[in-house]
Amino acid sequence: MSTSLRQLVCSKHVSLMSDQLFYLGSHALRNNREVSMKDITCMSHKYMTLTGMIQHCGAAGLYSFSPPLLRSVHKLSAVADKHMRSVRAQKLSMPSLCPLKFWSKSGRDLVLKNELITLQDKSKNEFCLSPTFEALVTFLVANNNILTSQLPLSLYQIGPKFRDEPRPKHGLLRCREFLMKDMYSFHKDLDSCREFYEQTRQAYRAFFEDIGLIFGKNVVEVQAPSGAMGGSVSHEYHVLADIGEDTLHKCSNCATFYHPEVHNECPCCSSSDCREEKAIEVGHTFILGKKYSHVFNCIAKDAKDLGQNYVVEMGCYGLGLSRILAAYIESFFNSRSGANVNESGSSKKDANFNLNDPSDFYWHPNLAPYKVSMILPKTGNKEEAKSDELVSRLNDLSDYSINELIIDDRDILIGKKLTDAKFMGTPYIMVLGRSLTDTEPKIELIDRVNGKTDYIDDADFLSYLTKLL
Ligand SMILES: [Zn+2]
């Protein structure tokens, strides 16, 4: 790209050049001296380490997220926001550093004693870094003197959570600081709570479908034991993957998944013929009842009858967002290896799939750091003039669209730029290369989602980009 055009594109602050990105890409392994390959135990950890998407931060289970991965995190959070809005939940923020008294009051400090990271300030006040917020949010709602007319009320946040994980492993799948969406709902009675709980189950299903995880195929919902959270009804959401630490049963008769701790036989058809499937737990929902509202005296007054108080019924609903990104990668590689075993030769793309090469991975467009990588020719190549002319047309794209585009104009071979675009998991790669000098100039579009390469007319450049972005 000419210097003047580059200055123009950069001055717009609407697009970023590959060489400006704080991200190691294919150089990551050379620079990532903290991590030895023998500590890498699964594909998501391998992909994220080899590409520099995560960097180890000097203690087990702690990682920094690179700018491209953080873009994926924000996109995943935006999808979560969309589906939480669909159940009319309101977003708030609570402090990660939580006075330990909230935990002591509900008795959960003892239940979760081994997992809670506790600390003292200089005045010997005790705190913990919260792994979950039932106690604090109930305290907040109790202090707001709510009326029954304000119910149902649902509050959620997206933020870091902490667990004193004794054996951090598998990269983002089991670490000590992780990102979670946690929601809490408050109701006048149990019927209202149950109704909201069902709406949230539907919202979770839609959430997973939006990021390309198909319900019943890549991700499943099972009825679960309530465990440490207390309460009555509970469901878990699992991404199916060989590396998963949970074991589910899949009915051989009707393909229903179920939790062996809750059911001895298929809850759908009562068959006990099943096989085990490994899974990664990524979400959990509970009907809590009055467990916390009793402790914190969380009551709603009826405005029409001020004498009447209701101790609220509660539900809570979690999604492990950073874990979902890692589970997505595991699911991606699992489904590709499955395709090789079951349908050998049926798909050229799958047959050529190399499970040891992280550059084979690409994100669902709703999760990709950038939807499109645009690769430009080296300075001085004969296709440069045409390429510059196309790039200058980018100013006609909306800011939203252009924010989904990353441009690589480094003076290195196109093959190297392609490798780096693939390392970032970009689903669509546009190459402004040699075919621009054809009598009818063409742009190469590598569509990794559909496993095909198209050549598009230069006249369709912007309309095609707009469609992708
Ligand atoms: Zn069955």
Q: Give the distance (Å) from ligand 1 centre to CA of residue 265.
A: 8
Compute the distance from residue 242 Cα to the ligand 1 centre, in Å.
Answer: 22
Distance (angstroms) between ligand 1 centre and the Cα of 224 equals 17
d(CA 27, CA 416): 11
Question: Would you say 238 and 246 are in contact if contact means Cβ atoms under 8 Å apart?
Answer: yes
Considering the domain boundaries, does residue 267 fall inside one?
yes
If asked whether residues 406 and 319 sit together in one domain, one would say no
Structure tokens at 69: 């991965």
- The string of pLDDT tens digits covering residues 141-161 is 999 999 999 999 999 999 999
pLDDT in tens, 276-289: 999 999 999 999 99
CATH at 451: 3.40.50.800
Confidence of residue 351 (pLDDT cuts 50, 70, 90): very low
Distance (angstroms) between ligand 1 centre and the Cα of 100 equals: 45
Q: Are residues 322 and 228 in the same domain?
A: yes
Mean pLDDT estimate for the chain: 88
Average pLDDT over residues 355-367: 85
Q: What mean pLDDT do residues 409-435 have?
A: 91
pLDDT band at 228 (very low <50, low <70, confident <90, very high): low
CATH number of domain containing 101 = 3.30.930.10
Cα(191) to ligand 1 centroid in Å equals 29
Is the pLDDT at 31 greater than 60, yes or no? no
To the nearest whole percent, how much of the chain has pLDDT over 90? 67
Least confident of 190-199, 282-291, 367-376, 408-417: 408-417
Q: Is residue 325 part of a domain?
A: yes
What's the CA gap between 149 and 245, in Å, rounded? 43
Across the range 287-306, mean pLDDT stands at 90
Domain identity same for 445 and 384? yes
Q: Which of 179, 159, 171 shows the shortest CA–CA distance to 57?
A: 171
Q: Is residue 240 part of a domain?
A: yes
Interval between CA 117 and ligand 1 midpoint (Å): 42
Model-level pTM greater than 0.85?
yes
What would the pLDDT profile of 172-206 be if each residue is shown by its tens digit?
Answer: 999 999 999 999 999 999 999 999 999 999 999 99
15 within some domain? yes
Domain that holds residue 277: 63-333
Cis peptide before 152 (omega within 30 of 0): yes
Say how many Å lie between the CA of residue 233 and the centre of ligand 1.
Answer: 21
pLDDT band at 58 (very low <50, low <70, confident <90, very high): confident
